[in-house]
């Protein structure tokens, strides 16, 4: 079942002068189509101006499409009557933690959403406690949000959304202003909500490392979806991503460079452990020729090392020297 469905969505930002005459139109979304399955963890990537934040605001009904429609759990965001229901179903977490906390005390902030939709007092209490527990912030419930770290504030913001019992949470670069520790905490929290409570997560981010564990990665450029697939599929297409001015996770990049340098490393390595394993196997493979005793493992590495690969490897670096890296597609796994 799909929870979010964007159909041929167009949107432009307009800049007007004092006389309300349109000075400049900059298109933000042009013919965007995206369906998101209930319960999935989707990561949206794209460089600045690719339209990913605009899309996030569309889902929440903060912006309405100029053309096309966005449906959240089969409700059209253009329908004014449904707006509150839509915002209840699809909660949103923004980039700046300070600018989205309304309450002067953590638990009061978490209660803000349920208060707005008229939940009875006793139930608000339960929901607040539950939401704070879900993001592991219960012991801070009486604190002033100003005294929390960035990561903690962001978790409070997530709790604020959770207290509305949403089916889906859209996070618009929630970790952009956080330190590495805060970033990790927020991502772990989000992943837990997805796995444990089955909340659909749409994570918009700049950090490729955060996309590795998603079920699905969507890459946006120029206001539309240009790539869509599992993290392994997407990060195998290193050259394409680079053409879109996007990076790949560090470890994927390393594997890619190794491959280009002639090592038979498979495409789309996402985690350190995977690369370690591959390299260890390659080392043992190399040793087997000279010294049989080291190969105690006995199993044949299933990651392709057939006879042709080493040959391929030797002439690749030479090619590399005189061809432009950006344009070269031969090295990429397609």
Partner 1 sequence: MIRDITIGQYYPTDSVIHRLDPRVKLASTMLFLISLFLTESIVGYVFAGAALLAVIRISRIPFKYIVRGLKAVVILLFISVSFNLFLTPGEEIFRLGFLKVTREGLRTALYMAVRLIYLIIGSSLMTLTTTPNQLTDGLEKSLGFLNKVHVPVHEIAMMMSIALRFIPILIEETDKIMKAQMARGADFDTGNLMQRARAMVPILVPLFISAFRRAADLAQAMEARCYHGGAGRTKLKPLRYERRDYIAYLLVALYLVVMVVTRWL
Q: Which residues lie near partner 1 (CB under 8 A)? A: 57, 60, 62, 84, 87-88, 91-92, 94, 96, 98-105, 107-108, 111-121, 124-125, 128, 145-146, 160-161, 164
Greatest CA separation found in the chain? Answer: 84
Round to whole Å and give the CA distance between 224 and 30: 6
Order of strands across the sheet that contains 200-204: 90-93, 168-172, 200-204, 41-45, 216-221, 224-229
Taking the complex as a whole, the smallest distance from the CB of residue 8 to partner 1 amounts, in Å, to 24
Contacts of 207 (CB under 8 A, 6+ apart): 175, 183
> Residue 149 CB, nearest distance to partner 1 (Å)?
15
Shortest Cβ 11–partner 1 spacing (Å): 16
Residue 270 structure tokens: 């996402």
Complex with partner 1: residue 137 or 269, whichever CB lies closer: 137
The smaller minimum CB distance to partner 1, of residues 144 and 329, is found at 144
Comparing CB distances to partner 1, the nearer of 109 and 274 is: 109
C-alpha distance from residue 43 to each of 173, 205, 210, 220 (Å): 11, 7, 8, 11
Pairing of strands 224-229, 90-93: unpaired
The DSSP element (H or E) to which 203 belongs, if any, is strand 200-204
Min CB(87)–partner 1 separation in Å:
5
- Rounded to an integer, what distance in angstroms lies between the CA atom of residue 284 and that of residue 269? 19
Instruction: Give the shortest CB-83-to-partner 1 separation in angstroms.
Output: 9
Give CA angle at 227 (239, 181), nearest 5°.
80
Ramachandran angles phi, psi of 139, nearest 5°? -75, -5
Nearer to partner 1, 116 or 250 (CB): 116
Q: How far is the CB of 104 from partner 1 (least distance, A)?
A: 5
Whether residue 35 contacts residue 207, with contact meaning beta carbons closer than 8 Å, is answered with: no
Query: Which residue lies nearer to partner 1 by CB, 97 or 249?
Result: 97
Q: How far is the CB of 167 from partner 1 (least distance, A)?
A: 15
Pick 151 or 268: Cβ nearer partner 1: 151
Nearer Cβ to partner 1 (172/281): 172
């Amino acid at each position: 079942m799909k929870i979010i469905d964007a159909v041929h969505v167009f949107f432009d930002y307009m800049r007007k002068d004092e006389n309300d005459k349109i000075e400049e139109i900059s298109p933000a979304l042009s013919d965007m189509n995206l369906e998101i399955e209930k319960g999935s963890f989707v990561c949206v990537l794209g460089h600045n101006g690719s339209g990913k934040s605009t899309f996030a605001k569309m889902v929440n009904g903060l912006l309405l499409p100029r053309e096309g429609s966005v449906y959240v759990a089969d409700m059209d965001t253009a329908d004014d009557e449904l707006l509150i229901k839509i915002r209840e179903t699809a909660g949103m977490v923004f980039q700046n933690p300070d600018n989205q906390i309304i309450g002067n005390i953590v638990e009061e902030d978490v209660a803000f959403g349920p208060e707005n939709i008229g939940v009875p007092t006793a139930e608000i209490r339960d929901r607040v406690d539950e939401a704070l527990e879900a993001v592991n912030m219960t012991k801070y419930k009486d604190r002033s949000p100003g005294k929390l770290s960035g990561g903690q504030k962001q978790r409070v913001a997530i709790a604020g959304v959770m207290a509305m019992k949403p089916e889906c949470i859209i996070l618009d670069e929630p970790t952009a202003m956080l330190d590495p520790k805060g970033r990790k905490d927020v991502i772990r929290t989000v992943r837990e909500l997805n796995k444990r409570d089955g909340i659909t997560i749409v994570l918009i981010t700049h950090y490729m490392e955060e996309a590795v564990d998603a079920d699905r990665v969507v890459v946006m450029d120029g206001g539309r979806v240009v790539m869509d697939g599992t993290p392994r599929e997407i990060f195998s297409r290193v050259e394409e991503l680079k053409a879109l001015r996007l990076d790949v996770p560090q470890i994927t990049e390393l594997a890619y460079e190794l491959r280009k340098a002639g090592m038979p490393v498979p495409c789309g390595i996402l985690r350190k452990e995977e690369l370690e394993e591959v390299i260890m196997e390659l080392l043992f493979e190399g040793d087997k020729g000279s010294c049989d005793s080291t190969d105690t493992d006995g199993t044949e590495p299933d990651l392709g090392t057939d006879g042709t690969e080493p040959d391929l490897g030797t002439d690749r670096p030479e090619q590399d020297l005189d061809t432009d890296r950006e344009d070269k597609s031969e090295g990429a796994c397609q």
